[in-house]
A and B are shown apart, each in its own frame.
Chain A
Amino acid sequence: MKKIEILKLESLSRAPMLVEGYLFEGSDPEAPSVAVVGAMEGATTLPLYSASKLVDFLRNKLGTGKILGDILVIPSVNHYALNINERFWPLDKTDINMMFPGYGLGETTQRIAHKLFEAIQGYDYGIVLETRSDLATCLPYVKLYKTGYEDIESARRLGLRIIHHREPESIETVSLQYNWQLWGSKACSVICPHQPLIDPESARVILDSLINFLNNSGIIRYETFNGYDSTVVTRERIEVVQSPHSGIFIPTKKPGMTVSKDETIGKIVHALEGEVVHRFLAPCDGMITCTYMHSLIFENAVAYRIAKIH
């Protein structure tokens, strides 16, 4: 393994930010290669943790001679945000994942995106570890944009329960996954739950999915347990449950749980008077894919998304 410098950025008052990648060179020139990009934002640590555990696995657990194709892991692109629990770039609050393909002469986060994008070119596969952009936590799943270049079969090799296969919004045309696909890598995103503390179960699922991917793609040789035969879900299959009242939100079902129509899945308690003002009932049979992630909820906010069972 060797560490390579992806970018270095000076600051007026902070120590310079050095972004590094961990490159594991494969022994088989015919084997495919992959790059994995971890935390581009702060305020949630699962992308960071999952990428760093992958480095640990490849470096300390896998054993010699088992890496066939090149693997580049970049655990963090945004140390400055992670270290102060900011979500976006701390000065101007811009989202690095909205700056691709980047611009070397542009603004700071465009330059960061540009250098990152240069470093990850030419890999056969690309995996972005990210979190949802809305106020929701979720089960770990694959987000795969319909670009005409996407590859569902390689996304299946992660072995996660769900692949959300959908058209990108216009704003998502400047995301890493979208541009990575357009530049010739089979890229997808693993969406990580948005949790302030590491949930060992979710972390295990994500790391296992990355190892599954490497093994199933012929990039490493490793005897592991099979993941799921992923279900491909389109937008039409997602049922949105909005909150008819504001108050204190108490979900009783978590992402990843299957539910039956009319089953109670949570409640809202009046924030000042304590009484239950609403009980959420599942509108359909299905699996909860994500829930609102704060205790205080606005009226009409999206409380749950449920993947319907046909």
Chain B
Amino acid sequence: MTPDITEIFSSELPVGETLRIQRARFAPEKPDADAKRISIVSGIHGDELEGQLVIYLLAAWLRDHPEALRGTVDLYPAVNSLGVDTIIRGFPLYEIDLNRAFPGARNDFLPAQLVHALAEDVEGSDIAIDIHSSNIFLREIPQIRINKEFSEATLPLAKQLNCDFIWIHDAVTVLEATFSHTMNSRGTKTLVVEMGVGMRLTKAYGRQLLRGILNLMQQEGIIETPTEFKVRESFSSEVGDVFYINAPAAGLFVPALDHCEVIETGQWIGDIVDPLSGTVRESLYAPNGGVLFTLREYPVVYEGSLLARIFGVHDEKN
């Protein structure tokens, strides 16, 4: 099965090139009237590539299983295509974080036009999944982040996605400028996935999320296949707390643990060292036991830089 490729946004660039944002649509020739539509989006940040692997794996699966398709699957692998191609997180030149520019408008500046085109194109989907890779500084286990405001509708979907963790956030006004808030506000149930690290691919995570997306599509009747996509049960921030560990000093962060380890209160997480003097500036210890679901990947830190996040049930001993 070959998808229909459509440009959802284009703009002539100044010197002999056109900026294009493309969508691949997989749909049966005669879909049922009540067939659902799902949109999978990635690359809103140009330095995040994990979603591109997931979309590749999903597109390859759909090509191999055309008989299974009942609904419409729209794939947007590289929303910030200029950024993806130049290893720039924001929209190049404008230095704008596209995920802080929604819903955008036709007569606003160019990044706002681009996000407006995406939101217009995705509008009408029953479900949308926005895949991010954390950033170049942090490594994340596969997790879903959903806004409390929309959690009643989106939490059941999140549980289908084969991720390890579901993090329900309180509403923050700046999140109104994100893709997920915009689409949820317009009636498309939208989930945000964070996994892996910026500028890299984590193949195991890609396969894990593919299984979850296939499972979700099966549950929603978008695909029909005898294959059973067994998914793991996520742990959720409904039943525990997230503990942040920020750097108390500048230096080079040398972790003592592996990402995704289950740790205990007081366990050594790593040191911040000074290469010039050969001294340890600070040693870091876990404020609470739990799963080390975020771990710093980029070692240079300032005071305040996020080093790790732990998810766990609050330890009364502390």
A contact set with B: CB distance below 8 Å: 9-12, 87-88, 91-93, 98, 105-111, 133-136, 169-171, 173-174, 240, 242, 245-248, 271-272, 294, 296-302
The stretch among B9-17, B28-36, B140-148, B258-266 that forms the contact with chain A is B9-17
Which residues of chain B have C-beta atoms less than 8 A from A92's C-beta? 135, 137, 305
Which residues of chain B have C-beta atoms less than 8 A from A171's C-beta? 100-101, 174, 177
Question: A248 to B95, alpha carbons, bound, how many Å?
Answer: 20
Query: Which chain B residue shows the least CB distance to A10?
Result: B250
B168 beta carbon closer than 8 Å to chain A: no
The stretch among B59-67, B71-79, B103-111, B229-237 that forms the contact with chain A is B103-111
B249 beta carbon closer than 8 Å to chain A: yes
Which residues of chain B have C-beta atoms less than 8 A from A271's C-beta? 14-16
Query: Which chain A residue shows the least CB distance to B111?
Result: A134
Query: Which chain B residue shows the least CB distance to A111?
Result: B304
B89 beta carbon closer than 8 Å to chain A: yes
Pick the contact of A93 from B89, B109, B251, B304 — CB < 8 Å? B89
Question: A189 to B274, alpha carbons, bound, how many Å?
Answer: 40
Which residues of chain A have C-beta atoms less than 8 A from B306's C-beta? 107
Interface flags, B287-316, vs A, CB<8A=1, else 0: 000000000000011111110000000000
Asked if B252 and A12 sit within 8 Å, CB to CB, the answer is yes
Interface flags, B222-266, vs A, CB<8A=1, else 0: 000000000000000000000010100111100000000000000
B contact set with A: CB distance below 8 Å: 11-16, 19, 89-90, 93-96, 100-101, 107-110, 113, 135, 137, 173-174, 176-177, 244, 246, 249-252, 274, 300-306
Asked if B109 and A135 sit within 8 Å, CB to CB, the answer is yes
Using A12-B251, A88-B95 as known contacts, say yes or no to A246 and B173 having CB atoms under 8 A apart.
no
Asked if A10 and B137 sit within 8 Å, CB to CB, the answer is no
Asked if A10 and B95 sit within 8 Å, CB to CB, the answer is no
Question: A302 to B11, alpha carbons, bound, how many Å?
Answer: 12
Which residues of chain B have C-beta atoms less than 8 A from A134's C-beta? 94, 96, 109
Q: Looking at the assembled complex, report how far the CB atom of B197 sits from the nearest CB atom of chain A, in whole angstroms.
A: 14
Asked if A107 and B100 sit within 8 Å, CB to CB, the answer is no
Asked if B174 and A12 sit within 8 Å, CB to CB, the answer is no
Using A105-B246, A298-B110, A299-B11 as known contacts, say yes or no to A272 and B16 having CB atoms under 8 A apart.
yes
Q: Looking at the assembled complex, report how far the CB atom of B100 sits from the nearest CB atom of chain A, in whole angstroms.
A: 5
Q: Looking at the assembled complex, report how far the CB atom of B36 sits from the nearest CB atom of chain A, in whole angstroms.
A: 30
A-B contact pairs, 7 of them (CB 8 A): A93-B90, A174-B174, A240-B107, A272-B16, A294-B93, A301-B110, A302-B109
Which residues of chain A have C-beta atoms less than 8 A from B110's C-beta? 298, 300-302
Asked if B249 and A10 sit within 8 Å, CB to CB, the answer is yes
Question: A133 to B177, alpha carbons, bound, how many Å?
Answer: 15
Query: Which chain A residue shows the least CB distance to B247?
Result: A108
Asked if B173 and A173 sit within 8 Å, CB to CB, the answer is yes
Asked if B174 and A108 sit within 8 Å, CB to CB, the answer is no
Which residues of chain A have C-beta atoms less than 8 A from B93's C-beta? 135, 294
Question: A25 to B214, alpha carbons, bound, how many Å?
Answer: 67
Asked if B304 and A246 sit within 8 Å, CB to CB, the answer is no
Additional A-B contact list (4), CB under 8 Å, known A11-B250, A91-B305: A10-B302, A92-B135, A106-B246, A134-B94
Asked if A108 and B14 sit within 8 Å, CB to CB, the answer is no
Query: Which chain A residue shows the least CB distance to B253?
Result: A12
Which residues of chain A have C-beta atoms less than 8 A from B137's C-beta? 92
